[in-house]
Chain A
Amino acid sequence: MNIDLDFSLMIPELILAGAAVLVLLLDAFLVPPGPSQDEGDPRDITLAVSVLGMAIAAIWTITVLWADGTSRVSFGGLFVVDAFALFFKEVVLIGAGLSLLLSDAWLRHHRVPSAAPHCLMLLATAGMLYMISAGDLVMLFLGLEVMSIPIYCLAASLRWDDRSIEAGIKYLVLGSFATALMLFGMALIYAFQGFEGGVATMSIAAIQETIVLHDGPLPGYAFAGGLLMLIGMLFKISAAPFHMWTPDVYEGSPTPVTAYMSVAVKATAAAVILRVFGGPVLEAMGLEGLLWGVAALTMIVGNVMALTQDNVKRMLAYSSIAHGGYILVGVLAASPDGQAGVLYYTLAYTVGNIAAFGVLVHLSRQGHEVETFDQLRGLGTRFPLVGLVMTIAMLSLIGIPPFAGFFAKFAIFKAAIGSGFVGLTILALLTSAISVAYYLRPLVAMFMTEEIGAPAPRPELQPRLALAVAIAVIATVVLGVMPDRYLDWAAASVIALAW
């Protein structure tokens, strides 16, 4: 039994896992049980370990692994490291790292007496990286579980808040359901591979080859298997009609966790969809038309429902559904352009969303959660910098130049038209137009209305949160002003997916 085990490829994941264990131990021995203390908070140490872990993982990914350039497979085909995986890992690490910085401020505000959220985020992120690098359905499923379970816990991490508990439970129940569907789909696909492909293997590449080389339509159970696997991922990317959990969970979860879910989970799901269903596979499986419908429905539901929300987090939840729809448009385009567009889109969406959630975290306190439009009233005028950040975030999410969101949408729509999805692109443009209405609402509230009642106290500035928001805002502007470099990077990354 000789299997190549190249642990050097797995260093970012190992760093994250190691950091998680370390945080757990530090938490166990440094943080006494009971309510948190302000003086000499040991959470500083656990945060430092977590952020350092993320940073080293990100830097390692971008320098050592990316510099090597070639696609490498190890662990008997379980683990694939190629440019595509590295790009998404970088996006996920950026999103996770920035959420981590946001969470610190939030934990302080809410006096959460433990560093467990840091540990959970590290573990979930490690799971995401494994999913992104999965070369095999087994690996994919393991990664999925390692990712999902900590996030269920994260959603419920505000233990004394009913809404947080509710969010965690809902996510757990529906998420397990989706996972079960996905597992069933994998089983069916495995059966298909065993019957038709000759070799019974869970290797994604082998299965894709079998599917593409198959003459005539696939047998029904293979169709069903593909669809169920797709549904598992559509659930994570919160595409309609598998999106129902999203608004409740996003609203109920602690805000930094919402930010984390909305960027990192979505990017991971997009990566998996591209990896498993990329290139000619989607069409060969006959799932193209279905995904068309799902994408259209997702864009409509996300954008229309966002219009009537009064809660900013809920609005951003629907907005994230809508963005999932745009990502699916890029997936459908199936061309290298479309795939590169998806990569760029996840990056642009990540930084824009982090900035928006950062504003909410900044303004919130225990007992004074700023979540509704009414609570934002007049704050932009009183705190112009906060207003500026929100403005940039919203404009980027709408897709207005010169911010990142514009080029992201532009790249995806262009690719979709190039692949002949004109109708879908028109629908995407129309729904984008609708989105303007709800993205401007926070800005209208912040700048054009007066505060109700006694003015809210000036929120103290948390340097770590400020750092995260600053990085997100600068990235949003840089990606929008000088998109070429990053588009090129995305284009170079998807070469790894080429058939």
Chain B
Amino acid sequence: MENLLIPVLLLPLVGAMINGFAGKKLGDKVVSIVGIGAIAIPGLLAWLLLFELMGMDGEHGNHLSLTLFEWIHVGAFKADFGLWLDELSVVMLLIVTNIGALIHLYSVGYMKGDPSYWRFFAYLNLFIFSMLCLILGSNLLVLFLGWEGVGLCSYLLIGFWYENSDYAKAGKKAFVTNRVGDFGFALGMMLLFALFGTLEPSEINHALEHGLPTGMNPKMIEAAALLLFVGATGKSAQIPLFVWLPDAMAGPTPVSALIHAATMVTAGVYMIARLNGLFFHAEFAMHVVLVIGAATALLAATIGLVQNDIKKVLAYSTVSQLGFMFVAMGAGAWAVGIFHLMTHAFFKACLFLGSGSVILAMHHEQDMRFYGGLSKFMPKTYWTFFAATLAISGIFPFAGFFSKDEILWFAYASDRGHPVIYVVVLAAAICTAFYMFRIMWMTFWGEHRGVPEGHGDHDDHDDHSDHEGDHDDHHGGDPVESPWTMTVPLIVLGALSLVGGFLGVPHLLGNVAGHFPNLLHDWLHPVFQYSEVHYTHADGLEWGLMGLSLGLALSVWGVTAMLWRGKDKLTHPLDKVPAVHKLLWNKWYVDELYEVALIGPIVKFSREVLWKIVDEVCIDGTVNFVGGVCKTVADGLGRLQNGDVGNYATVMVGGMLFLLLCLAGYGLW
């Protein structure tokens, strides 16, 4: 059965190669079939694997593992290219392959007519392959391979329309920012190897099952966990490395949905869950995770409040929601974090795809001030988007309600949580509801405002004229609903946003409904059983906090209705406090801060010291010196090499006599 993992892993790679090498000649239709098939078949196989795992009944959890080949054996260092599927990775596998398949289908409609259609699908398939390496890798080196692979694909896809230099720059920014994190990750990995002598997460967790092994310095564990978390902040866009993700929205919208919302950016969360044993014993590192997660959640949510670009809002929302997941990780609520990762994949993918549908209908206009009243024109997009909005805002019984509420509860009740964190995260949740309903009001409800003449295609949000495709016919007319290839994924994801939460009903609610089990929590229990964090049990308080957050979310909806219902003019309440609005509009000036504090000095240092002194004087000087010496020597020796056989024989005899003399010297010695 574990052999099924091979097609699951390799089909996307095969697809990427077919599309990458032959896609141009195959035509769009074949490219679509290959591209979707390469992800849909693994998606189906993933279910088979799930059932296989469900059928197994190991005492301490089940797994399927497989060694593809011996990769590196150097001295004590041994890393096989192995695959490892357990309860945790199968959840990720299902999310990535199935949501991935939906988004591939959506891309068929969205990318229609793009001249580089084949390239897009090749990249997407390659991304899926890398992501599967990341998820299924039996040791951290394979995981790291995937980790770098998804980073590369992300770079390629952000800069997919590289003719636009801004897009290309956004790709570069993402790549460079991720390098910083990857550096930490690599260091953390080396430290782990030094500590445990292995890079297999299963072995590391096993070693830590019953507390720290004797003689191991807890500070080293902390250091390793912190270094790995640095990697996670890069990949999962947390403070301080979150700046790349909003810019990454330059990529085509399906990419934003797949990579920058549903899958890749959750890699950091997955990595922490994978190494739960390590983080469990690194209490300080967990505090850091908690605080960073909470701060990111709030900071990003506040920025989201004032943005007008629909994808920007969703991007900051993603950063914020990832912050929620890290709060769960930091509080030791591993299963809850994975639960939120899953529901977020449903509703955020739905939101991004919905926004893509809107953007296409609006001829690549991304500014919400020109939207409005779209519910009449595109009902399918509207209803699915609405469901996802309710989910992310935490309205019962949508998916986000269950997962977000549990995070809030554990932020408060876990031994590793804190009431202050709870308050911060709650504030972030309120902001979330606000900016989401703001999108609803500005985009779908009210009157359609439309794009004024002389705007739109010339707007800097989209000057990729080739990309208009067959939607050009509708230009100037009313927005129309997208084709079925785009609406079907929306409907599926919208439905999942509605019902997905029932996979992880908290015990509190489950008990009310007659012992409805927390399916996901029970399923993941074997993975996290040795890292359980103690938390307060207080049913009354939990009911109260649940009611509070639900009430707040609903009242935010009410507030937005009061602000914008039936109004012609779109005013923002923060307009009255221009200082705050400006601060948020400029994203807390984080980019500018980096510019002044880091990038400027680094550029200056590089130019003045590294370039002019180290490079030109030291390195070039040394190289030129060595080269000069070599040339002189060669010229001298070259004079001997004059083509005269007699001369050559003389050199030979001379050499021989010299060596004989040396021997004689030895003898006399």
Contact = CB atoms under 8 A, between A and B. Distances in A.
Determine whether A and B are in direct contact in the complex, meaning some CB atoms lie less than 8 angstroms apart: yes
Interface of A: 169-170, 173-174, 177-178, 181, 217, 220, 223-224, 227-228, 231, 235, 240-242, 244-245, 247-248, 286, 289-290, 293-294, 300-301, 304-305, 307-308, 434, 437, 484
Contacts of A240: 655
Interface string B634-659: 11011011010101110110111011
Given A174-B645, A308-B631, A242 B652 contact: yes
26 contacts: A169-B645, A170-B648, A173-B645, A173-B649, A174-B645, A174-B649, A174-B652, A177-B652, A217-B666, A220-B667, A231-B655, A231-B656, A240-B655, A241-B651, A241-B654, A241-B658, A244-B652, A290-B662, A290-B663, A294-B659, A301-B637, A305-B634, A307-B630, A308-B631, A308-B638, A434-B626
A294 B655 CA distance: 10
Nearest to A169: B645
The 5 closest A-B pairs by CB, nearest first: A241-B655, A244-B648, A308-B634, A223-B663, A304-B630
A244 B634 contact: no
A235 B652 contact: yes
A217 B645 contact: no
B645 A305 contact: no
Nearest to A438: B630
Contacts of B219: none
B562 interface: no
A204 B626 CA distance: 45
A395 B662 CA distance: 38
Contact of B631 (A181, A228, A242, A307): A307
Contact of A286 (B633, B641, B663): B663
Contact of A437 (B627, B645, B655, B659): B627
Interface size range of chain B in the complex:
20 to 34
A484 B73 contact: yes
A208 to B, nearest CB: 19
A173 B641 CA distance: 16
A418 to B, nearest CB: 14
Given A174-B648, A484-B73, 6 more contacts: A174-B649, A177-B649, A220-B667, A242-B655, A244-B641, A437-B627
Interface SS of chain A: helix
Contacts of B651: 241, 244
B627 A178 contact: no
B538 interface: no
Contacts of B638: 305, 308
Contact of A227 (B641, B643, B648, B660): B660
Contacts of B649: 173-174, 177
Nearest to A430: B626
B664 interface: yes
Contacts of B664: 220
A300 B658 CA distance: 18
B24 to A, nearest CB: 17
Contact of B667 (A223, A235, A305): A223
A437 B624 CA distance: 12
B634 A307 contact: yes
A252 to B, nearest CB: 10
Nearest to B646: A173
Contacts of A244: 640-641, 647-648, 651-652
A235 B640 CA distance: 17
A217 B664 CA distance: 12
Contacts of B627: 307, 437
B660 to A, nearest CB: 6
Given A174-B648, A241-B651, A286-B666, A247 B641 contact: yes
Nearest to B650: A244
A395 B645 CA distance: 34
Contacts of B658: 241
Contacts of B640: 244
